[in-house]
C-alpha cells in the first residue's frame, strides 16, 4: 500500500508497502531497510536539533533529526529489524543559492545525521543530498529500492 | 521575442480579476479611521459568502480567541480593524489561489498553503524580532507570489530554455527576467497596484526576491523575503524551481537574524498553516 509521509513525520512498514514523501527541500529524508526482515521506514525531518523547540519535540520527535532518527530505529527493531542488516540512504538537505549561513538548515540536518550514525557505527549506503532541487522519494519495502524524483526525472538511489 | 512575451503578460495583468466591488468598498472603509462599524456591517449584510468566510477565519486557532465569534461586530471588537482588513483580502483571494499553478508545478492548494505559510512565518518573525509598524505584513506575505498565477503558463512554455545549464546557478527571478522580460514578483506587484493596495505592501511584493534593489528599505519587505525562504526550505509550496533563489545577506544583517530565529519559526510554521487552512475548508 502507498503511504505518504508528510513533513515532520515517519512511517514504518513491510513487504507490499511503498513509502512516499514529497517536497524535500532542506528537510532530511532518511530511508532505512532491513532486507532480511523486509521491513523499513522513512523519516521526513525538518530541523537538525530538538533544543530549538523542546515542546514541539515532545509532541512530535520526527520534526527533528536528533530525536526522529533514534525513534525510527527503535520502531524498526520492534518489528524485527536488526541494526547489523540495515541499509541506510539519505536524500534532501538542499539549500538556497549563495552561502548565507542563516539558511544552511539542509547542511546542518546532514551534519547531525552523520554524527548520529557515526556514533552508532552505522554507515550511509547512498545519498542524494544538497543543491537547490526539491525531491520526492519512493521507497519500495518489498525490494528496498529507493527512487528519487525531481523536475519529473527519476533515478534510483 | 522577449518583448512579444512581455506584451502578452501585460495583457494578462489587465485581464486579471479585480477585487470584488464589495471587498474594494470594505477595504476603503477599513483603512479610514472615521468609518463606523455600522457602515462595515451594512456592506457585509448583502455579502453572506464573504461574511461566512471572515467568521470562519476569525475562529481559526491561529488568532487565539477563546470564545466562538458569531458576528462581524464581535470580530471587529475582538480582532480589530487591521485584522478584519486582512481577512477580507484573504477571503477574496483564497479560491483563486487554491488552483494549480502550471510552470511552477504547484498542484492545487500548494500556492495557497505557501502563501499562508509566508504570512504566518512573517508575522512570527516580526514578533520574534520585536519589529513594529508591520501591520500589513500578513497581507504582503499572502500576496507575495500572486504573480505566479499569471507567469506560470509563460514559464511552462519556456521550460526547455529554463532547464538550460546556463541557468542552474542563477536566482530564479533572474531566469524569469532573462527569458520573459519580467519576473513573478513584478507581475504580482502589478496585480496589487490594480487592486489599489497600499504602496508599502506593493513594494514588499515587488522586491521580495531582490530586496537590495528596492528604492527604500522596508522591514516588511525584508521579513517577507526571509519568511519566503523558511517556507520553501520546509517544503511548503516548493515548486519546480526548488530552492533556486538567493537570500540577501544585507537583509539578514539589518534585521539582526540568527539561525536560531529561523529554525524556531520553521518549527512553528506548519502548525500555523494547518490552523489557518483548516478555517477555509
Q: Where residue B247 sits, what CATH number does that domain have? A: 1.10.3210.10
Q: How many domains does chain B have?
A: 1
How do residues B172-227 score in pLDDT, each as one tens digit?
999 999 999 999 999 999 999 999 999 999 999 999 999 999 999 999 999 999 99
Interface probe for B, chosen from A52, A55, A112, A152 (most Cβ of B below 10 Å), is A52
Question: Which chain A residues in 39-58 lie under 8 Å from chain B, judged by CB atoms?
Answer: 46-48, 52-53, 56
Determine the pLDDT at residue B24: 87
- pTM (predicted TM-score): 0.94
In a domain, B52, yes or no: no
In a domain, B28, yes or no: no
Instruction: Please judge whether A56 and B268 are an interchain contact, meaning their C-beta atoms are less than 8 angstroms apart.
Output: yes
In a domain, B74, yes or no: no
In a domain, B86, yes or no: no
Instruction: Chain B: give the shortest CA distance to residue A4, in Å.
Output: 14
Tell me the CATH number for domain A2-156: 3.30.1330.200
In a domain, B131, yes or no: yes
Determine the pLDDT at residue B281: 57
Please identify every stretch of chain A with a pLDDT value under 50, giving residue numbers as ranges: none
Instruction: Please judge whether B259 and A151 are an interchain contact, meaning their C-beta atoms are less than 8 angstroms apart.
Output: no
**What domain range is B173 assigned to?**
2-17+93-278
Chain A residue whose CA is closest to B171:
A97
Domain boundaries, chain A: 2-156
Whether the Cβ atoms of residue A67 and residue A50 lie closer than 8 Å to each other = yes
Mean pLDDT by 10 residues, chain B (281 residues): 82 90 88 88 89 91 91 90 90 90 93 96 96 90 96 90 82 94 96 93 96 94 97 94 95 95 96 87 57
In a domain, B76, yes or no: no
Instruction: Please judge whether A46 and B267 are an interchain contact, meaning their C-beta atoms are less than 8 angstroms apart.
Output: yes
Instruction: Please judge whether B242 and A134 are an interchain contact, meaning their C-beta atoms are less than 8 angstroms apart.
Output: yes
In a domain, B41, yes or no: no
Starting at the edge strand that comes first in sequence, how are the strands of the sheet with A87-92 ordered?
A9-14, A39-45, A28-34, A87-92, A126-129
In a domain, B132, yes or no: yes
Residues A57 and A51: their CA atoms lie apart, in Å, by: 8
Determine the pLDDT at residue B110: 95
Amino acid at each position: 500500500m502507498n503511504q505518504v509521509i508528510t513533513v515532520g513525520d515517519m512511517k514504518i512498514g513491510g513487504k507490499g508497502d511503498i513509502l512516499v514523501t514529497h517536497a524535500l527541500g532542506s528537510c532530511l529524508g532518511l530511508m532505512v531497510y532491513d532486507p532480511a526482515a523486509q521491513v523499513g521506514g522513512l523519516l521526513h525531518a525538518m530541523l537538525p536539533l530538538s533544543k530549538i523547540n523542546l515542546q514541539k519535540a515532545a509532541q512530535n520527535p520526527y520534526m527533528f533529526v536528533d530525536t526522529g532518527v533514534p525513534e525510527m530505529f527503535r520502531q524498526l527493531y520492534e518489528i524485527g529489524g536488526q541494526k547489523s542488516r540495515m541499509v541506510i540512504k539519505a536524500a534532501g538537505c538542499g539549500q538556497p543559492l549563495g552561502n548565507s549561513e542563516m539558511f544552511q538548515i539542509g547542511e546542518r540536518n546532514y551534519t547531525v545525521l552523520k554524527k548520529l550514525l557515526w556514533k552508532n557505527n552505522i554507515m550511509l549506503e547512498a545519498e542524494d543530498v544538497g543543491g537547490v532541487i526539491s525531491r520526492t522519494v519512493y521507497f519500495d519495502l518489498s525490494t528496498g529500492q529507493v527512487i528519487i524524483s525531481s523536475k519529473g526525472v527519476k533515478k534510483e538511489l | 521575442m522577449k518583448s512579444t512575451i512581455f506584451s502578452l503578460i501585460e495583457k494578462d495583468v489587465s485581464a486579471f480579476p479585480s477585487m470584488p466591488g464589495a471587498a474594494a468598498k470594505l477595504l476603503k472603509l477599513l483603512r479610514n479611521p472615521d468609518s463606523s462599524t455600522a457602515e462595515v456591517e451594512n456592506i457585509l449584510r448583502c455579502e453572506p459568502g464573504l461574511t461566512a468566510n471572515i467568521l470562519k477565519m476569525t475562529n481559526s486557532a491561529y488568532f487565539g480567541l477563546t470564545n466562538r465569534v458569531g458576528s462581524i461586530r464581535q470580530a471587529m471588537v475582538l480582532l480589530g480593524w487591521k485584522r478584519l482588513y486582512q481577512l477580507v483580502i484573504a477571503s477574496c483571494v483564497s479560491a483563486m489561489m487554491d488552483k494549480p499553478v502550471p510552470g511552477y508545478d504547484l498542484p492545487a492548494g500548494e500556492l495557497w498553503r505557501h502563501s499562508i505559510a509566508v504570512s504566518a512565518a512573517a508575522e512570527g518573525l516580526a514578533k520574534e524580532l520585536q519589529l513594529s509598524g508591520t501591520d500589513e505584513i500578513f497581507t504582503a506575505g499572502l500576496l507575495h507570489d500572486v504573480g505566479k498565477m499569471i507567469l506560470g503558463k509563460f514559464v511552462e512554455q519556456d521550460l526547455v530554455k529554463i532547464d538550460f545549464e546556463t541557468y542552474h546557478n542563477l536566482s530564479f527571478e533572474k531566469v524569469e527576467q532573462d527569458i520573459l522580460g519580467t519576473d513573478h514578483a513584478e507581475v504580482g506587484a502589478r496585480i496589487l497596484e490594480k487592486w489599489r493596495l497600499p504602496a508599502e505592501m506593493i513594494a514588499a511584493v515587488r522586491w521580495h526576491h531582490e530586496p537590495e534593489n528596492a528604492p527604500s528599505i522596508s522591514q516588511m519587505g525584508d521579513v517577507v523575503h526571509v519568511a519566503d525562504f523558511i517556507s520553501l526550505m520546509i517544503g511548503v509550496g516548493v515548486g519546480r524551481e526548488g530552492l533556486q533563489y538567493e537570500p540577501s545577506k544585507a537583509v539578514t544583517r539589518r534585521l539582526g537574524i540568527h539561525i536560531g530565529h529561523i529554525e524556531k519559526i520553521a518549527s512553528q510554521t506548519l502548525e500555523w498553516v494547518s490552523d489557518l487552512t483548516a478555517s477555509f475548508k
